Structure 1
């Protein structure tokens, strides 16, 4: 609220100043012509602090009236000048204006007169969108290539061209895995070494529709992260189609083509599999009738430990694989996102554009029949609003993020998700309020009238995405990682940083 009031005061001041000097010009009481024989002076500016794209009003003398003849830099970065009168300049604060040194230059060549404000503008860093790796050339024929994040187009990593979902290795936050619906390999994005590789080509998996990645938690028979669990969308063998696989971590801590891969569950058309973060059960689904199944992973680990043979058939082992409920009708494509406390889960219904919520029964250790909480049932669109009044268009991967402002409340997490065909990242509060967090650049969209694009920068003013499908969050570093399918890139949302020669 303080920020809104501050913005309001500045807008009123700017409008008052513009009106005042417009009236003076109309009465020909002030010509306002720049005089290169006289000094240019900055007497004040307002507001005194702010971030990129903050509107700034600079007061002073001898600015002239030709905006094309005036240059403003803040922290050495050029500002966009909107309007100029003899005694004020209206501009926007540029990105990366870290030092805040405010300079105005009027005129060109020998007639240029430069001045510096006596106090710096208080530049405030903000979260911005950047491109981590990947690229798309003008012909869109760059293909897939493992390699470094940086370098020439024929060297650096590229690909990321199918719908993807990501997951951090719980034992190494510098290792980010990504799987694809249509590209068989699971790739490793090594954030420390800035390298993309494909350690798991999954020759034993029946098809190439890998829909999700998760990991086991600490339990009676296995330690946290000992196993990777992936879901494969496959129905080539009827009700016994391998759908969920479990991959054992190698002794050296890696996952690769030498890792032991076993079928964990066989049914058909699984869109995703998620592990309960507290109790460790596995929940997976089927596109067939919108079913949700539960498996106590300890039963698998106990069987293997005792030398037994695991039977993955869901239909033949309905006491081990329990069908909990169906979420709606047949052919519901959805994925399961479990709250960090394990108390509830969101089901993101991708092809029907809404979210359901299922609460967790602490006694039975099962999720119960879900209910709709946000978006329009079978109605796509774009609208920031509350609950079912909001509109989304193919919501894909989501992640819960702790919000310190909610400390002490019943739910301390917001839910962020990528809205694929709205080309943006959205946020849903515990009360079901959906807002747009990043994308659909307000200013960049003006140029081509598209809400989609490849622009990095300010979250709402500049940044644009295209068909975003994957999203994860590193809470230690406060960084979001976004998979931009059509842009063929991995994008980030993080606090902007000053780049110096020592860390370039």
Structure 2
């Protein structure tokens, strides 16, 4: 037999569910509204909640007494995290479970009154691959256009870079056409500048000045007197391009040293790594990796102590120490990979990777707790080349030269392929189709991934 508390819970539950369908429209009767208002002379009471098990963004109903009918007056913490009340009546609060609410506690305060739920909910961390933006219809058709996330279209997101002064702004290179802005604040994709406005032919990479006020755009060009790097200034809204230096062709990528501010770029034609000295305004050749027409990407560790030199077409990552006395990159040595494309997790040269594109360093809190010297992992987007799909996943490379699958290749299509378009669990379900770019928002703990052949931006909100 159901006890009185259970009966009451069902009545309140029914009332709240109706409220979720649109019944929170206020009372026409002033007396009724007054009865439902919070009474500061009476205690708050929490009698229950549901569901008992939650994941991030779960709709949570909290039942009780004296909640009032004004959500703005309620201070709510779920699992110790400040949480907005979506709506309420005097006996029910409707809210969404925030990320990282793993303590499971429910705390409410209104005016001088406060209450803590006697029970805790079970919080289930739910890190998944989801789709942020990029509209593609059921036939696979898409159009490159600006607009809200629900309607915008993109072709090939080849590079992503997060504004160091505003993590809600992610700048994207649209292959050979433009620089676009993914604005998380207004949930909109817009075009910042086109190739014609930038006065370059083929933008390849983005990096920021040490102050965060200048966005550098590298250019791959085979034209006469090509511009190597252009500058977009924050003071001009990143709308006007200024040439930093020119005279070099076939530049695969450019990056900035996080301590000196000098720009390092890789030139495909002669397989060299060069440095543009910001003080002397001169270009100096560091070294050649041997051979010609070799793709290379340089990624400096946040400390500036070393750089990863990535050779995408060979599925290999080299490591170069940085001499802080001479401000010079030393000759590289193989760190991960073995010149053979494919897929094999492992350590060092036992690893087989596909065609690696953009990478990003991400701080690992566990390494900090363990007092490790290097507290960063390196995440790499492994796409495809010439329609050969060896990877289509996101790798995590540790400071111990271990490469493991972080996301992708989770489910298999009917043709036994691992690439495609599936959201879901990182390792069990998620599928990509040529992930080409990746960036990590350290503030909000979000990975953004440019999924090239799916024509979408995917995201992973880290729990």
> What is the TM-score when the length of structure 1 is the normalising length?
0.65
Aligned equivalent of 1:343, options 283, 290, 305: 305
Residue 441 of structure 2 corresponds to residue 477 of structure 1: no
How far off is 1:204 after superposition?
4.8
Structure 2 portions without partners, runs of 5+: 1-51, 57-98, 103-118, 385-390
How far off is 1:137 after superposition?
2.1
Q: Which residue of 1 aligns with 2:402?
A: 433
Structure 2 CA distance for aligned equivalents of residues 140 and 158 of structure 1: 12
Q: Which residue of 2 aligns with 1:112?
A: none
Q: Which residue of 2 aligns with 1:171?
A: 165
Aligned equivalent of 1:228, options 215, 223, 238: 215
Structure 2 CA distance for aligned equivalents of residues 447 and 336 of structure 1: 38
Contact 1:275–1:283 (CA under 8 A) maintained in structure 2:
yes
Structure 2 CA distance for aligned equivalents of residues 459 and 140 of structure 1: 24
Q: Which residue of 1 aligns with 2:246?
A: 265
Contact 1:334–1:349 (CA under 8 A) maintained in structure 2:
yes
Q: Please, what is the CA RMSD of the aligned residues?
A: 2.4
Structure 2 CA distance for aligned equivalents of residues 332 and 167 of structure 1: 24
Structure 1 residues 359, 495: closer, same or farther in 2, change over 3 A?
Answer: closer
Contact 1:165–1:178 (CA under 8 A) maintained in structure 2:
yes
Q: Which residue of 2 aligns with 1:282?
A: 263
Structure 2 CA distance for aligned equivalents of residues 233 and 491 of structure 1: 26
How far off is 1:207 after superposition?
4.6
Q: Which residue of 2 aligns with 1:141?
A: 141
SS of residue paired to 1:472: strand
How far off is 1:201 after superposition?
1.2
Q: Deviations over 1:67-109 (max 9, x none)?
A: xxxxxxxxxxxxxxxxxxxxxxxxxxxxx9x99xxxxxxxxxx
Q: Which residue of 1 aligns with 2:341?
A: 380
Q: Which residue of 1 aligns with 2:91?
A: none
Q: Which residue of 2 aligns with 1:191?
A: 184
Structure 1 CA distance for aligned equivalents of residues 319 and 289 of structure 2: 10
How far off is 1:226 after superposition?
2.3
Contact 2:230–2:241 (CA under 8 A) maintained in structure 1:
no
Aligned equivalent of 1:413, options 376, 381, 389: 376
SS of residue paired to 2:168: strand
Residue 363 of structure 2 corresponds to residue 398 of structure 1: no
Contact 2:267–2:273 (CA under 8 A) maintained in structure 1:
yes
Structure 2 CA distance for aligned equivalents of residues 195 and 180 of structure 1: 15
Q: Which residue of 2 aligns with 1:180?
A: 174
Aligned equivalent of 2:275, options 294, 314, 326: 294
Aligned equivalent of 2:419, options 452, 466, 475: 452
Residue 139 of structure 2 corresponds to residue 158 of structure 1: no
Aligned residue pairs total 345
Structure 2 CA distance for aligned equivalents of residues 495 and 447 of structure 1: 30
Structure 1 portions without partners, runs of 5+: 1-47, 53-95, 100-118, 151-155, 218-223, 301-319, 497-504
SS of residue paired to 2:196: coil
How far off is 1:279 after superposition?
1.5
Aligned equivalent of 2:229, options 233, 238, 244: 244
Structure 2 CA distance for aligned equivalents of residues 132 and 355 of structure 1: 29
Contact 1:247–1:262 (CA under 8 A) maintained in structure 2:
no
How far off is 1:147 after superposition?
0.4
